[in-house]
Amino acid sequence: MNKNKFMESYIENLQRITLKNFAETSDKDRYFALCDTIMELINQEWRNCKNRTRRSRKAYYFSAEFLVGRSLGNNLINLGIYDEVKEILSEIDIDFESIENFEDDAALGNGGLGRLAACFMDSAATQKLDMYGYGVRYREGLFKQKIENGFQVEGGDHWIKDGDGWSIRVESDSKIVKFRDQTVKAVPYDMPMLGFENEQVNTLRLWQAEPFEEFDFSYFNNFQYDKAVEEKNRAEDITRVLYPNDMQREGRVLRLKQQYFFCSASIQDMVSKYKRYFDHDLQFEDFSKYHIIQLNDTHPIIAIPELIRVLVDENGIEFERAVEITKNTFAFTNHTVLQEALESWPKDIMLEVCPRCFDIIKKLNENLVKEFKEKGLSEEAIDPYRIIRFDQVRMANLAIVMSKSVNGVAKLHTQILKDDTFKNWYKLMPEKFNNKTNGITPRRWLVYSNIKLSNFITEKLGSDDWKYDLTKLKDLEKYLDDEKTLEEINQIKFENKKELAKYILENEGISINPNSIFDIQVKRIHEYKRQHLNLLHIINLYHKLKKNPDMDFYPTTFILGGKAAPGYFRAKAIIKLANEIARVINNDEEVNDKIKVVFVNNYRVSYGEKLFPAADISEQISTAGKEASGTGNMKFMLNGALTLGTYDGANIEIFENAGVENNYLFGAKVEELNEIYDSYNPKEFYYKNEDIKDAVDTLLSGELNDNDSYMFLDIYNCLINPQGGEKADTYFVLKDFEDYKKTHEKINKEYSDRLTWARKSLKNIANAGYFSSDRTILEYAKDIWKL
Ligand code: 7GP
C-alpha cells in the first residue's frame, strides 16, 4: 500500500462525504471516510474474485445468523495494513481507537451458531476457498442489554442508523419473493469477506426486504395514505428484527417468513446465475457439480423445497430429477441436542407462508413413506422418520433425507447425534454422518484482539507463519521450561488484565484488582450452561470468607456476562442473581479486597475481544452432554486461560490437546448422568452437603433481594422444589457442586505458583492450533464440499 496515496484519498473522501474542512469533521465522519477508503482499496480484488469464480464450484453457507461484530480493525489486520493505517491517522492527529469505537457491532446473530458462521467466512477466504455466505440483513440486530436495578432491560439495536460502511447495495440483483399473502422485493447487500493477507475477497450477501412497489399510487391517489404506508411496513417487517431466542424455536409466522424470504432469494440468485453462466445446461445436469449448500442448523432448511420449486415450476424440470439434483446439493449441520431448539412447523403456518413448499414437502414425505413400506417397514417403524407427523413439518427430518451429509460440531456431540438424537437415521444411513469439530478464527481472536501475545508469539517463533497455520504454535513448547518466557507470559496476561480493569471501571463503574485471579464466564445465559452453579459457588465462598477472614485465599475476580432471551424468565433471574451478589459482595468491605463480582453489561463480540485476552480461568461448566461444542472455550484457550470445565462439547478435545493436567476438569460424565437420570434426587445433595444447603438457602434467606420479582424463588424451586410436574434440577447443578467447589479450591492454591501456572498457560496456547476455524473449514471443503 502506498501510504501517501492512502492518506490523500482518505482526506479526499472525508471532505467529499461531509463537505467540511478536516478540522470540523467528527469521529463519525472520520470512521465512515475510513470505511470508504478501505472499500476502494479492496474493490479491484473483490471484483477479480467475483469474476474468477463465476464458473467454479462454490460452497454456499446458508445461515439465518452471521454474528460479525466490528469490521474495521479486522479488515485492516487481514489487509496487513493495521499498523500503517494507525500511523497515517496519528500523523494527522486522529486517534484510531476513538474512531474504532464509533463502529457498532454487526450483531446479526444470537450466539455460537452465528459467530461460527462469521469465523467460517474469515477462514474460507483465508484458505482461498470460494465460499459464499447467504443470510438476512436485519435492521435491528440482537437487542442491547442494559442492567437496571440488577434486571436486564432490552433496548433496540438499529446498528445501521448512521450508515453502513461495509456493504454495497446491489440493486440489480434484487429478487422477487412471493408469499401466499404478499409479494416483496429482496435487495442484496454485499459485504466483503477478506482473506488474511492473500487477496481473496469472498462475499457475504445479506438480503433486505422492501416493498415490491415503493409506493402504491393507487392507494395514494385515493387518499388512502395509511394503506399505502401499511404495505411498505408490511414488507419491511420481514427483515426488521432478529429473533433474540438462542436455542429456542420460534413458532411465529414472521419467523418462517424470514427464513423463506432469504432462502428463496438465495436459491433464485444461484439458479439465475447458473442460467447466465452455464447457459448450455438448461436441464441442470451439472447444477450440483457447481453448488454445494451448507445448512447452518434447521433455520434455512426451507431452501430444500424451494430449490425443487424453482427447478420444477420455473424451469420445467421433472419432479424426480429435481429431487435428485437437490439431494446432491445440500449438507446439514446440527448445532444442539436440546429438544426445544429442533424446529417443526405446523402445516397451517407453512400453508400461510409458502404453500407450494408445503406441497413439495408433502410429496417428499409420501415418497419416503412409500419407499419404507416397500422395504417392509410397519407404520409404527416409519413414524420416527416421517417428515410430516401430526400436521407438523419436522425440519431436521426433511434435511436429513434430502442431504448428502449430516454433521455435528464436536466429537461427543456427533456421537450423541448418532446414539440418541438422530439414532434412527444413523441406523439407516450411517455413511451420511460425520463430525466437524468447530473452530475460531485466530485473526480476530488473537492477532487483532491480543496484540501483545500475538507479537510475543511471532518473536518466539521467529516468523508469523502461525497466523496462516495455527498448528505451528506447537513449536512454542520448546519454551515450556524457560523461565524467562514463562515470566513474559505472565507479564502479558497482567498487562491485558490491567487494560480490562480500566475498561470495566469505565463501563461498569467497578474497580477490580489486576493482581487477582480473573475467572470469567461469558456466553448466553441458559440453565444448561449453568451460570447459577457459578453463582451458588460464589455465595458459599463469600460466606466462608466472612466466617473465616484469615483463610488462605488468593484474591479472585469473578466476571460473568451474557444476554438472556427476553421471554426466558429463569435466565433473567440468573442475571438478577449475579447482579445482586455483585452488589452485596462489592459493598462489603470485609471481603472486597478478596473477592469481587462483575456482571458485564451488554456482552457482545467487541466486549469479548477485551475479555478473552485477560482471563486466567475460562468457565465452561455446562451439564455433560448439553453443550454441542462451545467456541468461547477455544477463544480463552488460545489466549492462555486455563479451562475449568466439564467433560462436555469441545472441552473434551481441549483437554485432549493441551493435557487434562494443564486444565481443571470436574463433574459427572454423560454416561453417569444418563444412568442416574430417573433416580436423581437433588434434595439428597442439599441435605447432605452443608455448603450446598448454605448456598441454596441464601436464595430465600433475605440476604439477597430480588425486589419482589420472585426470581430467586424460581431458581430455588427449580433446584429442589419443582413446580407443576417439572423435574427438579434437570441440569444436575447440585450433583456437580461439590466437585466444582473442590476444583476451585485447587485452582486457588495452584495459582500462586506463578511459573507453573504460566507453563500450563503456554501448554494451552501451544496446543490451540487444532481449534483454528481454518482447520474446520478445510475439513468441510475436503470431506463434504469436495472443493
Ligand atoms: C451453538 C451451540 O450451543 C454451541 O455449543 C456451539 O459451539 C455453537 O452452536 C456453534 O456450533 N448452538 C446455537 O447457537 C444454536 O442456536 C440451535 O443452536 C439452533
The predicted-structure confidence for 340-382, as pLDDT tens digits, reads as follows: 999 999 999 999 999 999 999 999 999 999 999 999 999 999 9
Q: Is the CB of 113 under 6 A from ligand 1?
A: yes
Q: Is the CB of 118 under 6 A from ligand 1?
A: no
Ligand 1 atom closest to the CA of 628, numbered from 1: 5
How does DSSP assign 597-616, residue by residue? EEEETT--HHHHHHHGGG-S
Predicted pLDDT of residue 218: 74
Q: Which residues lie below 8 Å from residue 516, measured CB to CB, with a gap of 6+?
A: 554, 555, 556, 557, 596
Q: Which domains does the chain possess?
A: 55-69+107-344+397-438 (3.40.50.2000), 517-748 (3.40.50.2000)
CA distance 431 to 113: 25
> For helices 569-586 and 711-720, what crossing angle results, to 10°?
110
In this prediction, residues 303-313 reach a mean pLDDT of: 98
Complex ipTM value: 0.99
Reduce the secondary structure of 616-651 to three states and give it as a string.
CEEEECCCCCCCCCCCHHHHHHHCCCEEEECCCCCH
Beta strand segments in 319-391, E: 330-333, 344-346, 388-389
- The model's confidence at residue 222, banded by pLDDT at 50, 70 and 90, is confident
Q: Is the CB of 337 under 6 A from ligand 1?
A: no
Predicted pLDDT of residue 352: 97
Instruction: Look up residue 233 and give its amino acid.
Output: N
> For helices 690-698 and 711-720, what crossing angle results, to 10°?
150
CA distance 70 to 78: 13
CA distance 204 to 192: 6
Catalytic residue positions? 335, 523-524, 529, 631, 635
Expressed in angstroms and rounded, the spacing between residue 359 Cα and the centre of ligand 1 is 30
In this prediction, residues 35-42 reach a mean pLDDT of: 98
Instruction: Look up residue 313 and give its amino acid.
Output: D
In tens, the pLDDT along 668-685 reads 999 999 999 999 999 999
Residue 740 reports pLDDT greater than 90: yes
* Beta strand pairing call for 291-296 and 556-561: unpaired
Mean pLDDT of the chain: 97
Predicted pLDDT of residue 15: 95
Task: Strand 617-620: give its sheet, edge to edge.
Answer: 595-600, 556-561, 517-522, 617-620, 642-645, 664-665
Instruction: Look up residue 286 and give its amino acid.
Output: D
Q: Is the CB of 167 under 6 A from ligand 1?
A: no
C-alpha dist (Å) from residue 774 to 9, 129, 652, 657, 743: 34, 10, 20, 17, 33
CA distance 526 to 532: 9
Predicted pLDDT of residue 216: 67
In tens, the pLDDT along 382-399 reads 999 999 999 999 999 999
How far the first Cα of the chain sits from its last, in Å, is 32
pTM of the model: 0.98
Predicted pLDDT of residue 656: 98
CA dihedral 205, 209, 214, 220 (to 10 degrees): -170
- Write down the residue that cell numbers 422418520 correspond to: 385
Predicted pLDDT of residue 229: 87
Residue 215 reports pLDDT greater than 70: no
Beta strand segments in 488-601, E: 517-522, 556-561, 595-600
